[in-house]
Amino acid sequence: MGVAKRTRKFATVKRMIGKRDERRKGEAEKKLELEAQKKKEAAVREIPQMPSSMFWEHNTALVPPYQVLVDTNFLSRTVGGKLPLMETAMDCLYASVNIIITSCVMAELEKLGPKYRLALMIARDERWTRLTCDHKGTYADDCIVERIQKHRIYIVATNDRDLKRRIRKVPGVPIMSVAKGKYLIERLPGAPKT
């Protein structure tokens, strides 16, 4: 027995619908509508309303006595640098200062344990204003960012890199930090450059 010869069929080709065929018009129209809708959605953006105290990038609501929101690591770095909180803040800002500590910061200090007991003792001082938080959880960074977005009357005292990065996205909020045995301020108009 021999092998049967197979002949190739050259004329048989799958029939395809051409690009300009009438039957494809519906697909093209749908595609154009989707693209137009995407462009329309991309063009409409929600821009948050800026407070009336913001004049360009300068916040006119920041006036002495300054309201300073203190973070956990700022307190610990202050203790590590053996700096008096109120006096050093007044020397940095050349004005009177109200130190504000939220209940989230207090809870975070209490959770950190005996290593941070000196910072906790400083935070419990009666001279500082205590703000109670009405949200769930005790994550101080979220609490501080939420508070400064609502009211731009605070200077945030922190040494946390991530929190600083988040605060820099909110215009008109100065940041105070501890470095080289003193407090430094950034983004405060008219502040001395150090």
Q: Is residue 131 part of a domain?
A: yes
Does residue 70 lie within any of the structural domains? yes
Question: Amino acid identity of 168?
Answer: R
pTM (two decimals) = 0.71
Average confidence (pLDDT) over 66-84 = 95
- Residue 25: inside a domain: no
CA–CA dist 127, 69 (Å, integer): 14
Distance CA 70, CA 80 (A): 15
Domain that holds residue 97: 60-186
Q: In this predicted model, what pLDDT tens digit does every residue of 105-160 receive, in sequence order?
A: 999 999 999 999 999 999 999 999 999 998 887 789 999 999 999 998 999 999 99
Residue 33 lies in a domain: no
Looking at the domain assignment, is residue 41 inside a domain? Answer: no
- Pairing relationship of beta strands 182-186 and 175-179 according to DSSP bridges: antiparallel
| 3-state secondary structure (DSSP) of residue 40 | helix
Domain count, the chain: 1
Does residue 77 form part of some domain?
yes
In a domain, 116, yes or no: yes
Q: What CATH number corresponds to the domain at position 97?
A: 3.40.50.1010
Bridge partners (DSSP) of residue 58 are: 55
Specify if 23 maps to a domain: no
66-70/54-55 β-pairing: unpaired
